[in-house]
């Protein structure tokens, strides 16, 4: 489960749980991006994003959390992350779960074809969002038959909306786990006041 998780929210958690059922996953490993390749460094510090992901996932026995991308210097390329996991358990069937918008951009990613040598991809989307998988496969033939759409109503929640709400002093209760809400407040993230 890859994402910037800035911050992690219930949409991500529900998506992971729904994917676990739908694809009969043994476990879901959350991998916060250390240095997202496509973003300027305006995002919350990787350590904050990691700790919020820890608070959000710790109670679920099927969820794990990896520091792998955070601890690897340089941009967090998904192809390298999946090569690492695949090498650990080459006989396992690996899936890379992330947001559908991100999946649509995959043809532009570093060594994108390698991703599909190591894993299939689950594009989590809110209902009604048309994931144009054929656009991805037209530009990236290695993706053919290896991208799955998963509709998740809870993905109406978004990290950007949470950041905006925090900056305005509005509540994010019921959008993020309580511990994450308190962590944001305590560390004054996203423009939250004292």
Residues that bind ligand NAP in the complex, under the rule CB under 6 A: 1-4, 11-12, 15, 33, 36-38, 76-78, 97-99, 101-102, 109-110, 124, 155, 158-160
Kindly tell me which of 1 and 44 has the beta carbon lying closer to ligand NAP: 1
Phi/psi of residue 57, nearest 5 degrees: -105, -15
CB of 186 to ligand NAP, least distance (A): 22
How far apart are alpha carbons 153 and 126 in whole angstroms?
Answer: 5
H-helix or E-strand spanning residue 48 = helix 46-57
Tokens of 110: 């570093």
Shortest distance (Å) from residue 57 CB to ligand NAP: 12
How far apart are CB 1 and ligand NAP at their closest, in Å? 5
Closer by beta carbon to ligand NAP, 106 or else 192: 106
Collapsed DSSP state (helix, strand, coil) of residue 29? strand
Helices and strands (H, E) in the chain, number of each type: 9, 6
Complex with ligand NAP: residue 77 or 190, whichever CB lies closer: 77
In the complex, least distance from residue 26 CB atom to ligand NAP, rounded to whole angstroms: 18
Closest CB to ligand NAP among 76 and 192? 76
Separation between Cα atoms, residue 156 and residue 158, nearest integer Å: 6
């Amino acid at each position: 489960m890859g994402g910037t998780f800035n911050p992690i929210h219930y949409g991500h958690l529900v998506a992971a749980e729904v994917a676990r059922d739908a694809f009969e996953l043994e476990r879901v490993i959350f991998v916060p991006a250390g240095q997202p390749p496509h973003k300027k460094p305006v995002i919350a510090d990787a350590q904050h994003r990691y700790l919020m992901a820890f608070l959000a996932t710790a109670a679920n026995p099927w969820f794990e959390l990896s520091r792998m991308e955070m601890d690897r210097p340089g941009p967090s390329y998904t192809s390298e992350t999946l090569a690492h996991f695949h090498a650990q358990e080459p006989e396992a069937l690996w899936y890379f779960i992330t947001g559908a918008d991100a999946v649509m951009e995959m043809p532009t990613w570093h060594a994108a074809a390698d991703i599909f040598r190591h894993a299939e991809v689950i594009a989590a989307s809110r209902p009604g969002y048309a994931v144009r998988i054929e656009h991805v496969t037209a530009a990236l033939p290695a993706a053919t038959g290896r991208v799955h759409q998963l509709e998740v109503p809870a993905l109406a929640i978004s990290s950007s909306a949470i950041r905006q709400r925090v900056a305005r002093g509005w509540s994010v209760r019921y959008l993020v786990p309580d511990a994450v809400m308190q962590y944001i407040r305590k560390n004054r993230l996203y423009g939250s006041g004292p």
